[in-house]
Amino acid sequence: MKPKLVKQLRGQKGQLVGTLGAMASPNPELFDKVVNLCKRRSFVFPSAEIYGGFRSTYDYGPLGVLLLRNVKDAWWRSMVQMRTDVVGLDAAILSPPQVWEASGHLANFSDPLVDCTECKTRHREDQLDDPNICPSCGAVGKFTEARAFNLMFKTQAGPVEGAGADVYLRPETAQGMFINFKNVLETSRKKPPFGIAQVGKSFRNEITPGNFVFRTREFEQMELEFFVPPEEADDWYEYWMNERYQWYLDLGIPSDQLRMRPHEDDELSHYSSGTSDVEFMFPWGWGELEGVANRGDYDLRQHAEHSGQKLEYFDQGTGERYVPYCIEPAAGATRSMMAFLMAAYDEEEVNDDTRTVLRLHPRLAPYKVAVLPLSKKDTLLPKAEEVLALLQPHFMCDYDITQAIGKRYRRQDEIGTPYCVTIDFDSLEDDAVTVRERDSMEQDRIPVDGLVTYLEERLAL
């Protein structure tokens, strides 16, 4: 690692790592407001709703799919596109038992499950306020002994039920990077320190899913496995803690709603010698957005042993051979999306009316620009369509011609669109449009031929 980098990290240490103060406070009302907005404005729908719903499973609607994609793109941009030491991967979701035997998930990836013999509900023992009292019926001392419940979904590959091979849906994307370490090392011309990044679905048979998309059985992760010479592991651990904390701040999470919390020893996963969580003040209290872990050489050694392959780095310059350590920033895409929505939600009084506005960072906003002809009159629509066609190659645009312009502004505010472009009757004469900014509601008159540049400069995507 370059000495300059280490110095920079040390300088930041006191400010970010271990910031534990309870700065913001829980806000249960906000939860209902955001969940309602998500349904009403097509961000997130309960899955299989026409069949009565499928518990804790969600579908991402027209706006949710844009927002979630923007969260993942922002992560990819910062973790892959803007770096020379990270490459991408998209590994299979289905994998054979050997992978999970080696990783330790078959033996260790479980939660302690207890059943209430009174009301027959199931609970995670480690999440109970009082391990003797059932939170559903209040019965005291009626729990069964705790059983280890493995969280992996198991299924069968092959057309004949019962005769196929067991396979698992991955519970984390990380193992895809470890089992491809050799492939990537040999083909990408990278050497430690370097990383492999992946975004994709993971599956866990959670005992207590809930809090909307915070904990679901099917969710998306954004993970980086960053392989380093063992003696640099501590510095890189610190480096990634700072980088990842800053990423959320840069995308608009206020600093009083974000903290970095180091794990206690008894919280550490089976592979980790040190983990710190980036936590967000959700409406019910602090909750994990991302874990940054020092996984040491655990995974590469395990897979080397189980597969019989050499998973190590040979430095031709020095003749040194070693198993790299791995620093892992592991984030949830769906969970982060929820945090960005919660942090962006705002209500303010404007002209005796309550304006709901999502103050999303422009990079995350589903639509960057809404094109709004002042009226539905035939005379305005061709000009509006011309402006829309000019903007669409550059920005994700909405086009709305229904209802009064004030109502349409409010609709765009509520879904976080940073700019509205209004085409009025003067536009037919002066070839200019009115641009309204979401947060300040200020308006500018801009010539159509300067519109793309004007928006590009302000959106700074």
**Site of interaction with ligand GAP (CB under 6 A):** 172, 174, 204, 206, 215-216, 219, 221, 223, 288-291, 328, 330-332, 334-335
Q: How many residues are recorded in the chain?
A: 461
Helix (H) or strand (E) holding 290: strand 285-296
| Closest distance to ligand GAP from the beta carbon of 347 (Å) | 27
CA nearest 413: which of 443, 441, 438? 438
Closest to ligand GAP by CB, 215 vs 438, is 215
Closest to ligand GAP by CB, 364 vs 387, is 364
The amino acid present at 329, given as its one-letter code, is P
d(Cα 216, Cα 259) in Å, to the nearest integer? 23
Closest to ligand GAP by CB, 223 vs 424, is 223
Closest to ligand GAP by CB, 42 vs 211, is 211
| Closest distance to ligand GAP from the beta carbon of 1 (Å) | 23
Closest to ligand GAP by CB, 215 vs 259, is 215
| Closest distance to ligand GAP from the beta carbon of 409 (Å) | 34
Closest to ligand GAP by CB, 220 vs 232, is 220
Assign 3-state DSSP to the chain and report helix, strand, coil percentages, each to 5: 35, 30, 35
| Closest distance to ligand GAP from the beta carbon of 196 (Å) | 12
Closest to ligand GAP by CB, 332 vs 362, is 332
| Closest distance to ligand GAP from the beta carbon of 278 (Å) | 8
Tell me the backbone φ, ψ of residue 336, rounded to 5 degrees.
-65, -40
Q: Map tokens 């929820």 to a residue.
A: 338
> What is the residue-wise DSSP string for 243-285?
HHHHHHHHTT--GGGEEEEEPPGGG--TT-SEEEEEEEEETTE
> What is the residue-wise DSSP string for 355-378?
EEEE---TTT-S-SEEEEESS--T
Name the closest residue to ligand GAP (Cβ): 332
Distance of CA 68 to the CA centre of its chain: 8
Q: Is the dihedral of CA 116, 117, 120, 122 positive or negative?
A: positive
Closest to ligand GAP by CB, 70 vs 422, is 70
| Closest distance to ligand GAP from the beta carbon of 291 (Å) | 4
Q: What is the dihedral of CA 14, 19, 24, 26, to 10 degrees?
A: 170
Closest to ligand GAP by CB, 244 vs 383, is 244
| Closest distance to ligand GAP from the beta carbon of 301 (Å) | 17
> What is the residue-wise DSSP string for 126-186?
GG-SSTTB-TTT--BS-BPPPEEEE--EEEEESSSTTTSEEEEE-S-SHHHHHHTHHHHHH
CA nearest 226: which of 184, 278, 186? 184
Closest to ligand GAP by CB, 288 vs 385, is 288
- Are 85 and 184 within 8 A, CB to CB? no
| Closest distance to ligand GAP from the beta carbon of 210 (Å) | 10
| Closest distance to ligand GAP from the beta carbon of 334 (Å) | 6
| Closest distance to ligand GAP from the beta carbon of 152 (Å) | 12
Return the structure tokens found at 400: 């709305």
Closest to ligand GAP by CB, 60 vs 419, is 60
Helix (H) or strand (E) holding 345: strand 345-350
| Closest distance to ligand GAP from the beta carbon of 274 (Å) | 14
- Output Rg (C-alpha) for the chain, integer angstroms: 25
